[in-house]
Structures are given as C-alpha cells and as structure tokens.
Amino acid sequence: MTLKIIIADDHAMVREGLRSLLSHEADMEVVAEAANGLEACLKAKESLPDVVVMDISMPEMNGIEATRRIVAELPQVRVLALSMGADRRSVVEALKSGACGYVLKDSAFAELAVAIRRTAAGEPYLGPKITEIVIMEYLRSLPEETPFPCESLSARELEILRLIADGKSTKEIAFLLDKSLKTVENQRHSIMKKLDLYSIAELTKYAIREGLSSLT
C-alpha cells in the first residue's frame, strides 16, 4: 500500500527537498504541499492523506493549531510533527495537540522515513532526544512521591511485624527479642497506627503482600 503524504512547511526549499527524498521511497507518495497551517488543514480535507508531515512554526496558523484541527476533524489522518526545536514546550504542545510523533529537522532522512511509516500505522514515534524530553515531562507531572507505609516503621517495628506475620504470639515475640510483653504490645500498637491496620489478620495480610513474611 502506498502511503499518501502531505508536506506542510513554510520554506519552499524544505518542501522540495522532502518531496525529492520521499519520491525514492516505493511505498510513499507526496500528494500535496502546504506553506502554512491553514493551507495544511484545507489540503488534508481535500487529499485525505495517511500522514501530514507538519512543521510546528508556520505563518497564518501554526502547526500546533493545524494539528489540533486536523486530528479533530479528520481522525483517520495522522500527523507527524517536524521541527528545529527540541525544547520541552514545543514537544509537549505538539503531542498534546494530537501529533503521533515528533522528528527533528536535523535528523537523518532514514529516521524520518521510519517515523512516517510508524505514524501511518498509528504507532507513536519519538527520536532519542525527544524521548528524553517526554520522560522528563512525565516525571515532572507526577505528584510528590509519598513513602510506602512500611517505610515509616523502625527496624524494630519491621522485625516485630515479620514475627506477627509468621504467626508468633506477643509472648513468643517478647521472648525472641528479649523484650517485655508491655514493650512488644506498645510497638505493635505503634505499627497498627502507622499502617492504619487494627487487627492481627490485617497485619499478617499486609506483611505477606509486601513480602515481609518468611511464609511468602
């Protein structure tokens, strides 16, 4: 199957260069060109391409807005963002607008060809530099990490929790640790409060689930 492609870029030399390179790909055909975002939207409606190779920075309507419109109006058409910018804002905005992939203009043509094929198949494509930016953005969006409940337990409390999960009674734990019954009871209550668990059964299930028990 031949992939129908639109090249959208405000520089004629870029469009001509890409058209020339893509003409050597047996499975690709450039069906239209666009010099701005508005024209890209119109050509997409007329040609119904498989992929629009979209420059991000264009006059009249930028590539971000053009991508947003094409994806909303023609969901079967895929957009591959093409840009000089490897900055976080450009990458994130392009992907949020609906682009399936992002390729830098200074990439080798072989990478662009692969990206077009992947995009046409509905698969995401990000170059190595772009992948790093996306990962950093994802990490930035995560809420501040909250510690696992068991991390709030002291070493002694963890030891007691393991023994409880192993079926040891308070008396047996006191003997094994050479502690008084009162001390073990107090530490058990502390464990329950920290974990918000208030029965031996709940403590046992928790310890087994977390891999703290020798029974696992």
pLDDT at residue 216 above 50?
Answer: no
Q: What is the mean pLDDT of the chain?
A: 87
Measured between alpha carbons, how far is 112 from 209 in angstroms, rounded to an integer?
Answer: 47
- Across 9-26, average pLDDT: 95
| pLDDT tens digits for range 74-90 | 999 999 999 887 777 88
Q: What's the pTM value of the predicted model, to 2 decimals?
A: 0.62
Q: How many CB atoms lie within 10 A of CB 46?
A: 11
Query: Is 202 strand, coil or helix?
Result: helix
pLDDT at residue 142 above 90?
Answer: no
Collect all residues with Cβ–Cβ distance below 8 Å to 124 and sequence separation of at least 6: 100, 101, 118
Confidence band, pLDDT 50/70/90 cuts, at residue 144? low
- Across 21-26, average pLDDT: 94
| Residues 79, 99 contacting (CB under 8 angstroms) | yes
pLDDT at residue 33 above 90?
Answer: yes
Q: What is the pLDDT of residue 106?
A: 85
> Which amino acid is residue 11, in one-letter code?
H
- Residue ranges per domain, the chain? 3-141, 149-209
| pLDDT tens digits for range 148-182 | 556 678 888 888 988 888 888 889 999 999 999 99
Burial of 85 (0-12, 13-18, 19+ CB in 10 A): middle
pLDDT at residue 202 above 70?
Answer: yes
Measured between alpha carbons, how far is 88 from 103 in angstroms, rounded to an integer?
Answer: 13
Instruction: Give me the CATH topology for the region 149-209.
Output: Arc Repressor Mutant, subunit A (1.10.10)
Q: Which CATH number fits domain 3-141: 3.30.1060.10, 3.40.50.880, 3.60.110.10, 3.40.50.2300?
A: 3.40.50.2300
Measured between alpha carbons, how far is 100 from 116 in angstroms, rounded to an integer?
Answer: 10
Q: How many CA atoms lie within 13 A of 84 on its CB side?
A: 6
